[in-house]
């Protein structure tokens, strides 16, 4: 019988735990996305290649970053909780729709810009590929629950 209380919360109560390379991949992607985001304010973090391809790249990177961080972060936790992947897919679709609806139809605190919606879509897609990898190869059943 399990004890009721603080002992059942946290890492020990997750249905799945990430493999070591999954955690490393999570933090490497997090670092890469934050590195891109820091390029908005600091020229030392900017990529000349990205600026040559798209001079206004850093004006849109916040949508990419927010979409990736929320989708990948929440989805990663949901996978460890054992939530079915189809719900994570629906969550991603909702993110994409919200991005496009907000960028095209809701001008509150925002200048409508389809490019921002595309960047949000790209962040969500990157998050989806990461979560698909995690679901397929990156988790093991939590031995502490057996």
Secondary structure percentages of the chain, helix, strand, coil, to 5: 75, 5, 25
Phi, psi dihedral angles at 136 (to 5 degrees)? -75, -40
In this predicted structure, what is the pLDDT of residue 2?
A: 52
In the prediction, which pLDDT does 61 show? 92
pLDDT bucket at 10, cuts 50 / 70 / 90: low
112-118: Cβ within 8 A, 24+ apart: 113/60, 115/56, 115/60, 116/60, 116/63, 117/63, 118/60
Dist CA 27 CA 10 (whole Å): 19
**The predicted structure's pLDDT at residue 1:** 46
């Amino acid at each position: 019988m399990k004890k009721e209380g603080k002992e059942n919360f946290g890492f020990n109560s997750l249905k799945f735990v990430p493999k070591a390379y999954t955690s490393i991949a999570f933090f490497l992607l997090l670092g890469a996305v934050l590195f891109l985001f820091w390029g908005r304010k600091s020229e030392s973090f900017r990529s000349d290649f990205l600026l040559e391809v798209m001079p206004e790249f850093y004006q849109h990177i916040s949508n990419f970053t927010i979409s990736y961080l929320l989708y990948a972060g929440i989805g990663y936790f949901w996978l460890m909780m054992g939530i079915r992947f189809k719900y994570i897919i629906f969550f991603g679709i909702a993110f994409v729709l919200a991005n496009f609806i907000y960028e095209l139809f809701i001008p509150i605190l925002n200048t409508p810009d389809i490019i921002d919606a595309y960047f949000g879509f790209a962040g969500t897609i990157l998050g989806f590929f990461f979560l698909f990898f995690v679901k397929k190869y990156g988790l093991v059943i939590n031995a502490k629950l057996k």
